[in-house]
Structure 1
Amino acid sequence: MDDLDIIELFNKRDEKAILEAERKYRSYCHAISNNILRDRESVEECLNDTWLNAWNSIPPQVPDNLRMYLAKIIRNLSFNRYKSAMAVKRGGGKISAILDELEECLAGPSDVESDLIIKELGESINQFVHTLSERDCNVFVRRYFYAESIKEISVNYGITENNVMVSLSRTRKRLRKHLQKEDYKL
């Protein structure tokens, strides 16, 4: 079943929409959540919450791209679950490292005071990502959207881990300059 048909089922409030979305995108969403959480039980809970959130948000939302819509839902749920777990554990981990890498480019939470600023920042980063070469874009997105490890990216692209780290470092520096030009306080 294609995405338009699934979205139509959501719009009609047909529960088959959840089953079809899960059938088509379960493994994709599982991979995203597992890259962040690395805990089977937490991933399963995020998956279930993803289907429920999709059910509750479509309609009124009508996603242009169901795959990315579901990816954003599960990614946000997984990061929220991760933050909750870290608040309890107060420990470090892969996601902390990823967020630390991006910290040099992005303003802190106290600097971002409204959803409008967050939306504009997201659009600015999106514009920046589209200026990158295909490989740099893919490496950046795999690291900072899908939370893949340096090693996983290295294996997927057949390049050294050092090459991945250098590429990400250069891209973050370019992102920082881009955001400074856009007058974001860094």
Structure 2
Amino acid sequence: MNVTDQQLITETLEGNTKSFGVLVGRYQDFVFTIIVRMVKVKEEAEEVAQDTFIKAFESLASFRGESQFSSWLYSIAYRKALDRIKKNKRQRTTEFLDETTETSFAAIENGLHYLEAKEKSQKINDCIMKLNEEEAAIITFYYFEEQSVREISAITNLTEDNVKVKLYRSRKKLFSLLQDYFKPELKQNGTDR
């Protein structure tokens, strides 16, 4: 039986901290992903993610259920990441996140296909990491978390029209970055004329 977020919130507010642990388990990967794409540094993203869950725990009684719990949580993560970025005004070198997992290549039937897919996935992630924090967040919310424009508006406190414009510009910028990465591949396949 799947326990809903609301049931877990109620149990947490009644003193069952293990229920909050279940909520953390459900959302920690995406919270970390959105934060690392904004702050660009893995170690700092881990700290900001922890701060996000501490803030969520402390503020849980104020969650009114007007939006999904995930949207409320992502809003906290977004603001915590922006706070960290403001605090670190100096320019940082982008640190790419190694998302590869320990995998036995003997267990992979088509190792070459797997590596090509992984490389393409890494190139896409690298391109997202080159976007500014707001662009990376909006692209991640829209494409990876499948949040609607309205939900992104609620998370970021931007108007829906502003989200649409920023989404359009972010897509265009990402497409341009991806073209630079994949252009040699297109020439090799004879599709670039």
Matched ranges for 1:15-164 at <5 A = 15-63=17-65, 64-86=67-89, 89=90, 94-95=131-132, 122=157, 125-126=159-160, 128=161, 137=164, 140=167, 143=170, 150-151=173-174
Q: CA deviation at 1:91?
A: 6.9
**C-alpha distance 96-38 of structure 1, shift in aligned 2 (>3 A):** closer
Deviation at 1:94?
4.5
TM-score normalised per structure 1 = 0.52
Unaligned runs of 5+ in 2: 94-129, 136-153, 181-193
TM-score by length of 2: 0.50
Q: Could you tell me which amino acid in structure 2 is paired with residue 150 of structure 1?
A: K
| Long gaps (5+) in structure 1 | 99-118, 130-135, 162-186
Cα RMSD of the aligned pairs, angstroms, is 4.0
4+ runs deviating over 4 angstroms? 90-94, 136-139, 152-155
Indicate the percent of aligned positions where both proteins have the same amino acid: 14
Aligned residues: 123
